[in-house]
Chain A
């Protein structure tokens, strides 16, 4: 099946940088997305990578290496409000197929 691997939990200090990794199955890979979900809330879109390299959006960046079937989300200048679950998600075959989600990484930002 199509499965994604990401760490279950990460803890980091306010103001620091944290990287959340994600590996995925290669066959039919179309693109890698990242979503943030606060407790009790809806997943919200953070970033998308289809080509190798780094995409930067403010304090958040996302990286993709298609040859390694690997990507990561980088969060800089961590704030307490960044405490949430972060999901990597992959589309296979096209841009109109369902997102397959990883199990999520729970990020705790501490003072």
Chain B
């Protein structure tokens, strides 16, 4: 158990819809990262938050947004969903200047 909790584990929704993925980082970790992993693909970095503020942005679509709350949990919002958004979405957390990132079990999103 990495200590990072993601909900829900599975999500099936229709095209055009909007979903919210949730992540609770390890206790004390200030950095939260979101990654997307499509079938047989590597992990594509989407966005990083550090202590409530956006720190870095990767290949995140404009239809996607995220935030980190004062209690450090984070949410990833995906809107106007398309079939191609079907993927595993991972959240990871790390302590400041810590080289190891701890990953949650992921949310498997299926858009039909």
Output the nearest chain B residue to A8 by Cβ-Cβ distance: B40
B90 touches A42 (CB 8 A): yes
CA distance A94 to B2 in the complex (A): 23
Output the nearest chain B residue to A32 by Cβ-Cβ distance: B99
Provide the A76-111 mask, 1 if CB < 8 A to any CB of B, else 0.
000000000001010100111111111110000000
Q: How large is the interface on A (under 10, 10 to 19, 20 to 34, 35 or more residues)?
A: 20 to 34
Which listed residue, A42, A50, A98, touches B48 by the CB 8 Å rule? A98
In whole Å, how far is A46's beta carbon from the nearest beta carbon of chain B?
A: 10
Output the nearest chain A residue to B47 by Cβ-Cβ distance: A98
Q: Is B8 an interface residue (CB 8 A)?
A: no
In whole Å, how far is A37's beta carbon from the nearest beta carbon of chain B?
A: 9
CA distance A51 to B41 in the complex (A): 28
Q: Given A42-B103, A42-B106, are A96 and B96 also a contact pair (CB < 8 Å)?
A: yes
Q: How large is the interface on B (under 10, 10 to 19, 20 to 34, 35 or more residues)?
A: 20 to 34
CA distance A98 to B97 in the complex (A): 11
Q: Is A48 an interface residue (CB 8 A)?
A: yes
Provide the B83-112 mask, 1 if CB < 8 A to any CB of A, else 0.
000000010101011111111111000000
Q: Is A41 an interface residue (CB 8 A)?
A: yes
In whole Å, how far is A5's beta carbon from the nearest beta carbon of chain B?
A: 11
CA distance A97 to B58 in the complex (A): 11
A residues at B contact (CB < 8 Å): 31, 33, 41-45, 48, 50, 87, 89, 91, 94-104
| 19 A-B pairs (CB sep. < 8 Å) | A42-B105, A42-B106, A44-B2, A44-B103, A45-B102, A48-B99, A87-B43, A89-B43, A95-B96, A95-B97, A95-B99, A96-B50, A97-B56, A98-B45, A99-B45, A99-B92, A101-B35, A101-B45, A103-B42
Q: A42-B106, A94-B97 are in contact. List 13 more A-B contacts (CB 8 A).
A: A42-B2, A43-B43, A44-B2, A48-B100, A50-B99, A95-B98, A95-B99, A96-B96, A98-B58, A99-B33, A101-B43, A101-B45, A103-B42
